[in-house]
């Protein structure tokens, strides 16, 4: 029996979100639809989820003492990490003291650091991954490039959204890749992972949900990335039944090893009939924004149902769908969007503007989601309609255009 009280009262089911971006905002909305009290936390003020939460706090979530003290003072029923940049030692401590961390503090700890999750998957579970090396100096990086071969990908062991990630195509790129990775790392870590390049045919996100009734899957989501960050996603990604079954088997094993209830974004490279595990996020995934239009239950609804112990009797896919982010580049704390109406003139189309308070460099500020008769039509429509959303001349920023790759 699941019991949910009244927000603001002594009976409230209180949920603390650690990370309050666009994904956290959708989680907060779904929690509130089910009567939960939401506390949004992030490193900056007016983050998207804070705009819809009951309470908000701005702290450095990488500061273990500060994070621990905030959790203790608020005493939430559930702590829900929504980003990687968190002092997971504090989560391990509060979980040991009796607070529920979603899906588990161990899962948050392992997946924040690429060393932890790679060693779990490749060494303990013996699941196929790309060849890899961990390095802590420029000299070790040079040696690792020789061992895994060119081209190869270099990433910080702790980062998100492609920050610090680059591809080394020849030896002349090594120093620049080292400097770029260190600049993009989070949490003060100076370790990098070097991954051998997999010449994959396509890559997918398999949204995997561990809940009270077992393990469920969404249809596979195809996606395209640039500089480690997603530029398009679509659902379903066509693939052989046997390959999908192997991905589901791996996802079940990995999510079981991480434990707890919730949604896991499992990423795989597919090369012919061969499956390579790539990464996992124990939370809703950015490529899963497409599920806001493609399914009866979005990834955010699924995550919330799972963490609250609620049933998930059916996940129904409505038809070929796609998403394309609204990307903005520049410097501004007052971005204005114009021609918003032009993004919504076609049926089976929706737009989410995230309400992020500022842009420094390049930032995802919204997303267009579409449903059409074919995946190809959905992808083309999502990119075309995303490009119609422009920024006003007073915003001191520019739009980055999306391009569908054939």
- As annotated, the active-site residues are 160, 162, 267, 279, 286-287, 364
Characterize 238-252 residue by residue with b for buried, 16 or more Cβ atoms within 10 angstroms of its Cβ, and e for exposed: ebeeebbebbbebbb
3-state DSSP call for residue 129? Answer: strand
How far is Cα 190 from Cα 156, in angstroms, rounded to an integer?
7
Q: Are 399 and 319 in contact (CB under 8 A)?
A: no
How far is Cα 136 from Cα 257, in angstroms, rounded to an integer?
28
User: Kind of pairing, strands 262-271 and 202-211?
Assistant: antiparallel
Can you name the residues that pair with 34 across neighbouring β-strands? Answer: none
CB-count burial class (<10 Å; 0-12, 13-18, 19+) for 115 = middle
Name residues whose C-beta falls within 8 Å of residue 1's C-beta, 6 or more positions apart in sequence.
Answer: none
CA angle centred on 335, ends 332 and 339, rounded to 5°: 150
- Element at 30 (helix H, strand E): helix 22-33
- Element at 28 (helix H, strand E): helix 22-33
Phi-psi label, residue 98: left if phi above 0, alpha if psi -120 to 50, beta otherwise: left
Tell me the two tokens of residue 264. 């896991």
Q: How many helices (H) and strands (E) does the chain have?
A: 11, 21
């Amino acid at each position: 029996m699941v019991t949910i009280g009244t927000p603001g009262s002594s009976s409230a089911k209180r949920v603390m979100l650690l990370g309050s971006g666009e994904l956290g905002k959708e989680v907060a909305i779904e929690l509130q639809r089910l009567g939960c009290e939401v506390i949004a936390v992030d490193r900056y003020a007016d983050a998207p989820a804070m705009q819809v939460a009951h309470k908000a706090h701005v702290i450095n979530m990488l500061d273990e003492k500060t994070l621990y003290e905030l959790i203790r003072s608020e005493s939430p029923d559930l702590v829900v990490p929504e980003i990687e940049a968190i002092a997971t030692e504090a989560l391990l401590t509060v979980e040991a003291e009796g607070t529920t961390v979603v899906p588990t503090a161990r899962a948050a700890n392992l997946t924040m650091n690429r060393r932890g999750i790679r060693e779990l998957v490749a060494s303990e579970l013996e699941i196929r991954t790309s060849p890899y090396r961990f390095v802590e100096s420029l000299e070790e990086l040079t040696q690792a490039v020789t061992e895994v071969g060119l081209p190869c990908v270099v990433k910080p062991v702790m980062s998100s959204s492609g920050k610090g990630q680059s591809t080394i195509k020849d030896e002349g790129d090594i120093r620049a890749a080292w400097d770029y990775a260190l600049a993009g790392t989070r949490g003060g870590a100076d370790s990098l992972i070097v991954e051998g390049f997999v010449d994959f045919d396509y890559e997918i996100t398999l949204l995997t949900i561990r809940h009270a009734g077992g393990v469920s899957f969404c249809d596979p989501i195809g996606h395209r990335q640039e500089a480690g960050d997603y530029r398009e996603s679509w659902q379903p990604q066509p693939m052989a039944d046997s390959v999908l079954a192997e991905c589901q088997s791996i996802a079940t094993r990995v999510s079981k090893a991480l434990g707890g209830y919730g949604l896991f974004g499992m990423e795989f490279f597919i090369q012919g009939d061969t499956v390579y595990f790539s990464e996992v996020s124990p939370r809703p995934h950015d490529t899963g924004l497409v599920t806001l239009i493609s399914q009866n239950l979005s990834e955010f609804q699924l995550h919330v149902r799972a963490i609250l112990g609620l049933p998930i009797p059916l996940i129904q896919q409505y038809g070929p769908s796609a998403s394309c982010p609204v990307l903005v580049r520049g410097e501004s704390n007052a971005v204005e969007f114009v021609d918003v109406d032009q993004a919504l003139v076609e049926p089976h189309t929706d737009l989410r503007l995230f309400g992020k308070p500022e842009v420094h460099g390049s930032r995802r500020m919204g997303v267009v989601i579409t449903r059409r008769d074919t995946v190809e039509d959905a992808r083309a429509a999502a990119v075309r309609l995303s490009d119609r959303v422009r920024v006003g001349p007073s915003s001191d920023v520019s739009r980055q255009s999306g391009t569908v790759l054939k």
